[in-house]
Amino acid sequence: MSSNKKFCETTKCLLLILVTVAAVIAIICVITFSDENLREKRYEKADLKWWQTSIVYQIYPRSFQDSDGDGTGDLRGIKERLGYVSGLGVGAVWLSPIFRSPMRDFGYDVQNYTEVDPIFGNMADFDDLMKEAKAKNLRVILDFVPNHTSNDSKWFYLSERGDAKYKDYYVWNDGLNCSSGCEATGGKRPPNNWLSVFGGSAWKWSGIRQKFYYHAFLDSQPDLNLRNEEVKEELKNVMRFWLQKGVDGFRADALKFMFESKNVTQNETGLSDPFAWNEEDNHNLTTNFEDIYGILKAWRKVLEEYGSDKFLIAESYGISHDVRNKYYESGSIPFNFALIQYLNASCDAQCMKSVIKESMADLKPSYWPNYVIGNHDNHRVANKFGPETIDAFNMLLLTLPGTPTSYYGEEIGMRDTFYTYSETKDPAGLNFNETLYLEHTRDPERSPMQWNDTFNAGFSNGTPWLHVNSNYKVINVKNQESAKYSHLKVYKQLAELRQKSSFTYSNLTFVDVDDVDENPKKILSYIRTQPGQDRYLVVLNFGHLYANDVDLSKSAGSKRGEVVVNAMSNYQVNTEVDLTRITLSRGQGLVIKVK
């Protein structure tokens, strides 16, 4: 009896100990891995992957540097300019498509994914470029276009002809019977009202196959059938091909368009033609299908075959936070287009603060943030917000948390270039008439890089595919390298500054601005720091008026600081500044080390 009791007690005791130990372990785990604790952890550069401490610099290859005088930029041209690029302080270049293409959408219509287009050079030029980039410690990210190919691709050619292997590589449909006016389409009409991003029906009749094919973009960009296992394998092998060549990752194009409803009898409602690709909701039959995430996960596995530090950033306009989080969970980083999509010239500092806050909302610390303010599909910063704000926007982009992506030329404040209708090259513009094209053309932001004040701004000895902006004698790299103050110099200072560990993690604290004279509408201010590190105060005037004697001292917790970077203002770098009375006008900004 008594031994029995003893046994019982021992078991109880053991159980108690076990439960206690398990609970302690669980608590330790929760604390260690909780989001809050991640916020408290101090991040050193060594803890982070290269893409977490790098600026990504987007090069539009056609417009960067022409080496052979044919008027179009090329790989050798880019290689020649890598010294400049690394001198900016960026860590990676993303090249818009360089693959063989009939260039109807300037490379986003790929004919062969594993060949370099002759206009850009050849594979040896690519290998040279990679070598040079490695030597300069620059990572290389390629564009990856999985949603569609060119209709000139071998795959489409064979698919259109019903080849046994390729017939289901694209999205084909018989269409509906049509009683009149459909002679040109075999007496058929499209199966539904789905629209192309570039305008008009997303279905195109193939007289050869006697079926319609689906194209989210141009009719020369047929959508791949990503429900076909062989197509998925092909794309993975394309990734492997370039990873073997040493690329560091991909920017994946137009992912939200990868799947469409299998039920083609349904129409989409509430459509505008063409549809704004940043619309969130009403394309529920043609965008944002759950199947995307399975594909992303499979790609992440492929990337991991080549190391744990490969980068995958996804084009992702108009996605909800829920969708954004799924992109993260699937091993990619969705571009944060908040600054591109939700800011306009009338957005004051308060509005900007809420746009930034909203874009960071529900972002787990393990989801690495990123910001982007311009690219080859959007107007240049100087034109959207006014040339007086160029430095302020670079200051914002480069001091926000996470990975920034800069579009070529933004570092020198390049402007949109005007092209007449007859000069226009972009199909997104040419799909419209002479009155409407300006709303759609993307040529203005694709004008050649302005290197110096010589012929064609040093871009090409020939006739540039798009003419150089006539302001090139004033706005160019060479001028800005020699000027005492320039956009370029501010950019470089910011790029250097953001290497400091105070900027390396995702913590950002907005600073309250005294509510005098509408200051909160003018001044956007925040602190970047990490536990035990210097505190940097960023102060930017994005209002429309002068802000006089703004008191930031309470939120900043100090009255004194030292100017580290100056954007356009009268303050001098390396001088002391009184945080109780900061005066800035629109477009001026400061990074201040708080004392």
Instruction: Please indicate whether residue 132 is annotated as part of the active site.
Output: no
**Measured from the CB of residue 68, what is the shortest distance to Mg ion in angstroms?**
4
Catalogue the long-range contacts made by 354-363 (C-beta closer than 8 Å, 24 or more residues apart): 356/400, 357/510, 360/401, 360/506, 360/508, 361/321, 362/321, 362/325, 363/506
Instruction: Please indicate whether residue 410 is annotated as part of the active site.
Output: no
Q: How many residues belong to the site for ligand GLC (CB under 6 A)?
A: 9
Backbone angles phi, psi at 548, to 5 degrees: -110, 130
3-state secondary structure of 140: strand
Per-residue binding string, ligand GLC, 98-137, x by CB under 6 A, is -------x--x-----------------------------
**Measured from the CB of residue 319, what is the shortest distance to ligand GLC in angstroms?**
13
Q: If binding is defined by CB under 5 A, does position 80 make contact with Mg ion? A: no
Q: If binding is defined by CB under 5 A, does position 109 make contact with Mg ion? A: no
Of residues 253, 391, 410, 426, which has the active-site annotation?
Answer: 253
Instruction: Choose among ligand GLC, Mg ion, none what residue 68 binds, the Cβ cut-off being 5 to 8 Å by kind.
Output: Mg ion
Q: What is the DSSP letter of 194?
A: -
Q: Which residue is nearest to Mg ion (CB)?
A: 74
3-state secondary structure of 334: strand
Instruction: Choose among ligand GLC, Mg ion, none what residue 397 binds, the Cβ cut-off being 5 to 8 Å by kind.
Output: none
Instruction: Choose among ligand GLC, Mg ion, none what residue 481 binds, the Cβ cut-off being 5 to 8 Å by kind.
Output: none
Per-residue binding string, ligand GLC, 389-418, x by CB under 6 A, is ------------------------------
Distance CA 512, CA 550 (A): 11
Q: If binding is defined by CB under 6 A, does position 377 make contact with ligand GLC? A: yes
**Measured from the CB of residue 396, what is the shortest distance to ligand GLC in angstroms?**
23
Q: Which is nearer to ligand GLC, 104 or 167 (CB)?
A: 104
- What is the CB neighbour count within 10 angstroms for residue 113? 23
Per-residue binding string, Mg ion, 60-79, x by CB under 5 A, is ------x-x-x-x-x-----
Q: Which is nearer to Mg ion, 70 or 453 (CB)?
A: 70
Query: 142-161: which residues touch Mg ion (CB under 5 A)?
Result: none
Q: If binding is defined by CB under 5 A, does position 456 make contact with Mg ion? A: no
Nearest residue to 62 (alpha-carbon basis) of 106, 124, 110: 106
Nearest residue to 114 (alpha-carbon basis) of 122, 106, 105: 122
Nearest residue to 584 (alpha-carbon basis) of 395, 338, 438, 413: 395
Query: 556-595: which residues touch ligand GLC (CB under 6 A)?
Result: none
**Measured from the CB of residue 218, what is the shortest distance to ligand GLC in angstroms?**
8
**Measured from the CB of residue 299, what is the shortest distance to ligand GLC in angstroms?**
17
- Do residues 24 and 470 make contact, with C-beta atoms less than 8 angstroms apart? no
Q: Which is nearer to Mg ion, 160 or 443 (CB)?
A: 443
Q: State the maximum Cα–Cα separation within the chain, in Å, rounded to a whole number.
A: 105
Q: Are strands 311-314 and 333-334 parallel, antiparallel or unpaired?
A: parallel
For residue 68, give every residue at least 6 positions away whose Cβ sits within 8 Å of its Cβ, in sequence order, or none.
Answer: 74, 76
Distance CA 485, CA 299 (A): 44
Instruction: Choose among Mg ion, ligand GLC, none what residue 217 binds, the Cβ cut-off being 5 to 8 Å by kind.
Output: ligand GLC
Q: Cis before residue 274, ω within 30 degrees of 0?
A: yes
Beta strands in 476-557 (DSSP E): 509-510, 523-528, 536-541, 547-550
Instruction: Look at the chain and count its residues.
Output: 595
Per-residue binding string, ligand GLC, 70-99, x by CB under 6 A, is ------------------------------
The neighbouring-strand residues paired with 403 are 370
**Measured from the CB of residue 413, what is the shortest distance to ligand GLC in angstroms?**
22
Backbone angles phi, psi at 503, to 5 degrees: -100, 0
Q: Which is nearer to Mg ion, 68 or 562 (CB)?
A: 68
Q: Which residue is nearest to ligand GLC (CB)?
A: 108
Q: If binding is defined by CB under 6 A, does position 260 make contact with ligand GLC? A: no
Q: Which strand ranges, in their side-by-side order, compose the sheet holding 311-314? A: 333-334, 311-314, 249-252, 139-144, 92-95, 56-59, 403-407, 370-372
**Measured from the CB of residue 47, what is the shortest distance to ligand GLC in angstroms?**
32
**Measured from the CB of residue 66, what is the shortest distance to Mg ion in angstroms?**
4
Q: If binding is defined by CB under 6 A, does position 155 make contact with ligand GLC? A: no
Q: Which is nearer to ligand GLC, 82 or 254 (CB)?
A: 254
Query: 199-218: which residues touch ligand GLC (CB under 6 A)?
Result: 217
Q: If binding is defined by CB under 6 A, does position 152 make contact with ligand GLC? A: no
Helix-, strand-, coil-residue percentages of the chain, each rounded to 5: 35, 15, 50
Q: If binding is defined by CB under 6 A, does position 254 make contact with ligand GLC? A: yes
Q: Which amino acid is at 300?
A: R
For residue 85, give every residue at least 6 positions away whose Cβ sits within 8 Å of its Cβ, in sequence order, or none.
Answer: 57, 59, 93, 136, 138
Instruction: Choose among ligand GLC, Mg ion, none what residue 445 binds, the Cβ cut-off being 5 to 8 Å by kind.
Output: none
**Measured from the CB of residue 106, what is the shortest distance to ligand GLC in angstroms?**
8
Residues of this chain that interact with ligand GLC (CB under 6 A) are: 105, 108, 145, 217, 253-254, 315, 376-377
Which residues participate in catalysis according to the annotation?
A: 253, 315
Residues that bind Mg ion (CB under 5 A): 66, 68, 70, 72, 74
